[in-house]
Amino acid sequence: MKYTTIPNTDIKVSKICLGSMTWGNQNTEAEGHQQIDYATDQGVNFIDTAELYPVPATAETQGKTSEIVGTWLKKTGKRDQVVIASKIAGTGDYTAHIRTTGFSPASIKEAIDLELKRLQTDYIDLYQLHWPERDTNRFGVRNFKLDTKWEDNFNEVLLSLDNEIKAGRIRNIGISNENSWGTMRYLEESKHHNLPRLSTIQNAYSMLTRTFETDLAEVSLRENVGLLAYSPMAFGVLSGKYITETAADDSRLKLFPRFARYSSKQATEAAKRYLNIAENNNMTLAQMSLAFVNQRPFVTSTIIGATSLEQLNENIASIDVTLNKETLKQINEVHQVIPNPAP
């Protein structure tokens, strides 16, 4: 395994982070524990969860994923050997079953209270805002429209998180599904008001979704805010199993076809071209896809998810794959022809 540190901290984390959003839905508690056991045996020490999980989000399953992480922590007694990241859900119809009060001071306190109970721990290493409270483009939305009802509350949010850090309940903070303006506003507030500084940003990033490079990559590198790249396999599309029609009936996109972000004609065509590059270079598409993300200079850790130990083994093994200049050139040539087909 390869390691780095969460920016602006001394916390050492594996370059592969174990994602968990299938636990409690597609995966049982026992399977979740098996995945954690296997991943930690391979040197992974970083686990990402959220109060929203598992996905798809429902009132019946909400919080189950973190409970599975919590029972593993209690069973093994290995809390000091792993770094735990979690998130408070933003506002919207998708999360109305959790709360409708956004990132108010009371909401942040309540969310951390409940998450600590689920995780059976007294602190969270990295606490993230799952998406902006204001209505702005996220999850691939285009055609920007300004939210005129939202009132700037960056300072208030950071003050609330600062109180939680001082209480020892969270150690560091990050954001997710955020854009450049929001990222810089948080950095501005922390700089001018001596408030906690962002360590990470968790956004989608893969060979099919490289919009992070348009401006957030520069923010990341210049401001030292590391990317935790999620969906590096584009919901399994970049495993090649949907192209080759070998996907199991319980695969994610067959179970939940409404998650169509990575299934457009352009995304499918790009994936086919990437598959050809991988095969010509004696790699699986999954290995090439993850290796590509692992090597990006702004990526702190790549969040992988799997529903089987076989998938998990292949995903973690990508850390030992290094793409040469010619392979990267071929990938970029496809990107020039079919740029960001799943933004």
**Positions marked active-site:** 53
Which residue intervals of 77-209 are DSSP H helices? Answer: 105-119, 154-166, 180-193
Q: Identify the three-state secondary structure at position 270.
A: helix
Strands (DSSP E) contained in the chain are 3-5, 12-14, 16-19, 46-48, 83-88, 124-129, 170-176, 198-204, 226-230, 299-304
Q: Are strands 226-230 and 3-5 parallel, antiparallel or unpaired?
A: unpaired
> The dihedral of CA 182, 188, 193, 197: what is its sign?
positive
Tokens linked to 204: 């989608």
Which single residue is written with the structure tokens 């919080």?
63
283 strand-pairing partners: none
CA distance 311 to 209: 21
Tell me the HSE value of 155 on the side-chain side, using a 13 A CA sphere. Answer: 7
Cα distance from N-terminal residue to C-terminal residue, the chain = 30
- Burial of 308 per CB tally in 10 Å (0-12, 13-18, 19+): middle
Residue 313 neighbours by CB distance under 10 Å: 13
